[in-house]
Amino acid sequence: MKICKKCIQPDTRPGIFFNQDGICGACIWENTKKNIDWDLREKELKKISEWAQKSTESNYDCVIGVSGGKDSTKQALTARDNLGLRCLLVNSEPEGITEIGSSNIENLKKLGFDVISLRPNPKVTKLLVKRDFFKHLNPVKITEFSLYSSTYIIADKFGIPLIIQGENPGLTLGTSLTGVGTDENAMKANELQTLSSGWEEYLEVQGIEENDLYFFHYDRKNLESRNYKAIWLNYFLKEWSNHNNAIFSKQHGLKWRSDDFDPNSIGTYLPYFQLDGDFTQVNQLLKFIKFGFGQCMDHVCYDIREGRLTREKAIELVKLHDGKCSDEYIEKFCNFIEISKDEFWKTAEKFRGDVWEKTGDGNWRNRIWSMF
């Protein structure tokens, strides 16, 4: 097992890359950013924007997938106000959308955008969420298919030549060993770690037909044949970061959790992540069981790289909060897929990864933590 020597990211993350010095791909990207000619990147971005304005067959120049959160607010305002693009925003509504999530989508609309909200058949979604929980211990897997694909589908149907996505995880998480790579090409979103298994796997589910899965995949070959482009915006923007995007978006009406929120209820100390759906908190708990880290680990690593946390403080926060999840969220999830909490925990234990080892008193010890 490896732990990055700069941040504290473990090698249990699928697709993670470490160089010969033991530095993870995300830290390598953060260092690479110092030597990038950002003026040239900005010119490249403006050239793409001008191409979109000339190439569009629609009332819109670009389509942007949004949740209403910090990154999508940054994307939308950058595209419109900095690049001069006419934007169509697409929101794939999550199951269990929160009050804050609904408020933030409404805020985006009020900032002056046309927005299409999509919600795949909830009966189908429920069936597939349950399937993914039992088969992959990843209940939000299918929702990520619709989250990404809906944007590409709308671009295709409306004749919009440019799709703008937020950040390439091959860069920001260091998962460059996945097919998505480390460049600007977001047309390869179907090769992201979660999506790479392919939407066709859901055809094995009893009662599910191809027509039920329309909003869960996009026709990449058709888009490419029409010379459409899809880009990761973070590839072009020097100032792109979780913290900066959150501050920027709050200045434009974004709401996040109150200052007195309980970090152990959601498994992290930061108030501006995963605002639109309650099931994400459960999924982060399950990720912790599978791989030994949850969203607090992700977040401290961002803050270490950007100079807001020391490694020592980051370790302290991870030991306090990582993998925690309020019983309220677990109960909501169990009620949604109609299982008992006992069945929930029995299933989760079947996926407990090698990063865990039993102690003498019968409890589980996280081997990652023991390395700190």
pLDDT by residue for the chain (372 residues), tens only, comes to 899 999 999 999 999 999 999 999 999 999 999 999 999 999 999 999 999 999 999 999 999 999 989 999 999 999 999 999 999 999 998 877 889 999 999 999 999 999 999 999 999 999 999 999 999 999 999 999 999 999 999 999 999 999 999 999 999 999 877 778 899 999 999 999 889 999 999 999 999 999 999 999 999 999 999 999 999 999 999 999 999 999 999 999 999 999 999 999 999 999 999 888 889 999 999 999 999 999 999 999 999 999 999 999 999 999 999 999 999 999 999 999 999 999 999 999 999 988 999 887 878 998 887 777
Nearest C-alpha neighbor of 297 from the set 274, 272, 275, 314:
314
Rounded to the nearest 10 degrees, the angle between the axes of helix 279-291 and helix 327-337 is: 100
pLDDT at site 203: 96
pLDDT at site 358: 86
Q: 295: part of which helix (H) or strand (E)?
A: helix 295-305
The full set of domain ranges for the chain reads 38-235
pLDDT at site 71: 95
CATH number of this structure's domain 38-235 = 3.40.50
Contacts of 224 (CB under 8 A, 6+ apart): 187
- On whether the CB atoms of residues 133 and 347 are closer than 8 A, the answer is yes
For residue 94, what is the DSSP state?
Answer: P
- On whether the CB atoms of residues 183 and 44 are closer than 8 A, the answer is no
Residue 26: both structure tokens together: 């995300």
Residue 362: both structure tokens together: 């019968």
Strands 364-366 and 62-65, sheet pairing: unpaired
For residue 235, what is the DSSP state?
Answer: G
pLDDT at site 158: 97
pLDDT at site 190: 94
| Count of residues in the chain | 372
- On whether the CB atoms of residues 151 and 165 are closer than 8 A, the answer is yes
β-partners of residue 365 are 357
pLDDT at site 97: 85
pLDDT at site 95: 79
First-last CA distance in the chain: 12
Residue 340: both structure tokens together: 């008992």
